[in-house]
A and B are shown apart, each in its own frame.
Chain A
């Protein structure tokens, strides 16, 4: 847990990866460019003394992940967001089977989401069923800008996507995490446009849509949708590390999110291993609005809001009873390994 001003904050990191971008796994130049681009994000926002080498960054062991997230990282529960990119990587970049194996082993600590791609048709629906069956997934990461054959992306409001969203409803997979990040390919059509979330969220009120990277650079469109759709949430991955590097800009983004979406709709994510939760969490939890900002947004980033953003909101979406979970974590394998069990003392049994 995170200690802040004498209180414990239960942390759910809503955005983790376990990837393989080693040269042996890369089958398209896009794969090398993709990891290079991630690495620019890593070095661009990470304090110099915490930066990894590119080789360390290409892939990392399960032990390192557990140590970075739960040891130094102060995270209590983490959620994997798979990213396949099979056109770029022989065995995929970050697959549910890789994440799922680890999540099975540490089931109180790690949750894996699944993924779908509506362009896979019938086989894709069957694969989604398999994911639900084998990993009991509660959510999916969807990557609307992913390439597939001649297609350079797809939309969440297409008929094909609706068929998959209906399948999610049928399978009890209720959290949909669309990656809406920086504008990249395909050319002038913008596959990371957030407008498709609007229709999907209206049509599937029983699903929750967690827009990852809060739609940057379409924060404005995203917030606008978020005010109208009660089932739309914002994932802070990518925005969060700005809390250290560009604190004023981070406060502005956070202020807008809390103003337009509300304190129950914003979820923390480190985007590990692009950034380590350890320093990202410190920077976020120590964020305080100035008096002028409090007046501008008419709100505060106080302890109650911090607890919601850093853990409670994600716990709500993933049916985690925080008090029960603390009791389970007190003497689990991870607490033994990193000697973190004592912080859970006093949790209800």
Chain B
């Protein structure tokens, strides 16, 4: 059976603007999304400025292609970047399956290291929400520092924290979001690993927790602040797309 537009949109929720760590669906970047009866998907998207980093544009285009292609019932996927100074290179590169270095003859590096840097920042920013949630649930700095992956279980949107036989339950979302990035950057790989880490990804002592919490807040403020700049630019340049 051919894929539905809703399923495609759901898949695109997993594609983020790497600088802002927000889904491109929430950021109103998608201009057109067409799904044919046969299962061909046409996606056109625009960014807040024609100058937005082509590397970031490339990541979003290729991530969108990969997320949609992985769905059952999808035939051909065509991605188009609109109104950008590197629209042609990105569009051609993503549809022809080229590497970044081939698509851009002036590129002086690769995408992987940029992606890694931004994933590390996103990990730190998401750590803020996770720590805040645990803080609100009454955990102290020592408990937050000592927490290991195996102490957390998820079920039906709730997270349960095992504090040596004492159980605390809270909304799963901040912890799940955090763990997704913590796994990506390798801070948390198995159940024995500590859940949280410093800005430099070192394990925390209880005394380190307040500083790590503030460094996480700063990372989140940065992404959120830049998100505000981008949203205002997007609204100015693409008023028909931006909901804000």
A residues lining the B interface (CB < 8 Å): 33, 36-37, 40-41, 43-45, 152, 182-190, 216-220, 223-224, 238-239, 242, 245-246, 249, 252-253, 255-256, 259-260, 296
Q: Give chain A residues whose Cβ lies under 8 Å from the Cβ of B121.
A: 220
CB distance from A152 to the nearest CB of B (A): 8
Q: Are B49 and A37 in contact (CB under 8 A)?
A: yes
Q: Are B218 and A189 in contact (CB under 8 A)?
A: no
A127 to B212 CA separation, bound complex (whole angstroms) = 46
**Given A37-B50, A184-B53, A187-B104: A216 and B236 interface contact (C-beta under 8 Å):** no
A132 to B90 CA separation, bound complex (whole angstroms) = 45
A239 to B225 CA separation, bound complex (whole angstroms) = 8
Q: Give chain A residues whose Cβ lies under 8 Å from the Cβ of B114.
A: 188, 190
The A-contacting residues of B in range 104-119, CB under 8 angstroms, are 104, 106-111, 113-114
Q: Are A260 and B228 in contact (CB under 8 A)?
A: no
Q: Give chain A residues whose Cβ lies under 8 Å from the Cβ of B124.
A: 220
B residues lining the A interface (CB < 8 Å): 19, 48-56, 85, 100, 104, 106-111, 113-114, 121, 124, 199, 214-215, 217-219, 221-229, 231-233, 235-237
Q: Give chain A residues whose Cβ lies under 8 Å from the Cβ of B233.
A: 40-41, 44
Q: Are A182 and B229 in contact (CB under 8 A)?
A: yes
Partner of A216, one of B52, B217, B229, B232: B229
Quick one: which of A152, A224, A256 has the most chain B CB within 10 A?
A256
A44 to B229 CA separation, bound complex (whole angstroms) = 8
**Given A186-B108, A223-B218: A242 and B228 interface contact (C-beta under 8 Å):** yes
9 residue pairs, one from A and one from B, having the closest CB atoms: A217-B226, A44-B236, A44-B232, A219-B222, A249-B228, A183-B53, A188-B55, A184-B51, A220-B222
Q: Are A183 and B222 in contact (CB under 8 A)?
A: no
Q: Give chain A residues whose Cβ lies under 8 Å from the Cβ of B104.
A: 187
Q: Are A188 and B221 in contact (CB under 8 A)?
A: no
Partner of A189, one of B49, B109, B224, B229: B109
9 A-B pairs with C-beta separation under 8 A: A33-B85, A36-B50, A44-B232, A183-B53, A187-B109, A188-B53, A188-B110, A216-B225, A256-B217
Q: Are A33 and B51 in contact (CB under 8 A)?
A: yes
Residue of A nearest to B239 (CB): A43
Q: Give chain A residues whose Cβ lies under 8 Å from the Cβ of B54.
A: 185, 187-188
Q: Give chain B residues whose Cβ lies under 8 Å from the Cβ of A260.
A: 218
A219 to B225 CA separation, bound complex (whole angstroms) = 9
Partner of B100, one of A41, A188, A246: A188
CB distance from B57 to the nearest CB of A (A): 11
Q: Give chain B residues whose Cβ lies under 8 Å from the Cβ of A223.
A: 218
A220 to B222 CA separation, bound complex (whole angstroms) = 6
Quick one: which of A40, A189, A216, A260 has the most chain B CB within 10 A?
A40
Q: Give chain B residues whose Cβ lies under 8 Å from the Cβ of A245.
A: 228, 232
Q: Give chain B residues whose Cβ lies under 8 Å from the Cβ of A187.
A: 53-55, 104, 106-109
Q: Give chain B residues whose Cβ lies under 8 Å from the Cβ of A239.
A: 225
Partner of B224, one of A152, A184, A252: A252
Q: Are A43 and B222 in contact (CB under 8 A)?
A: no
Quick one: which of B85, B107, B218 has the most chain A CB within 10 A?
B218
Q: Are B51 and A37 in contact (CB under 8 A)?
A: yes
A223 to B211 CA separation, bound complex (whole angstroms) = 13
A150 to B85 CA separation, bound complex (whole angstroms) = 18
Q: Are B107 and A40 in contact (CB under 8 A)?
A: no
CB distance from A231 to the nearest CB of B (A): 21
CB distance from B202 to the nearest CB of A (A): 15
CB distance from B221 to the nearest CB of A (A): 5
Q: Are A249 and B108 in contact (CB under 8 A)?
A: no
Q: Give chain A residues whose Cβ lies under 8 Å from the Cβ of B215.
A: 220, 224
Partner of B56, one of A40, A183, A186, A253: A183
Q: Are B51 and A188 in contact (CB under 8 A)?
A: no
Residue of A nearest to B226 (CB): A217
Q: Give chain B residues whose Cβ lies under 8 Å from the Cβ of A40.
A: 48-49, 233, 236-237
Q: Give chain A residues whose Cβ lies under 8 Å from the Cβ of B53.
A: 183-184, 187-188, 190
Residue of A nearest to B20 (CB): A217
Quick one: which of A36, A188, A190, A216 has the most chain B CB within 10 A?
A188
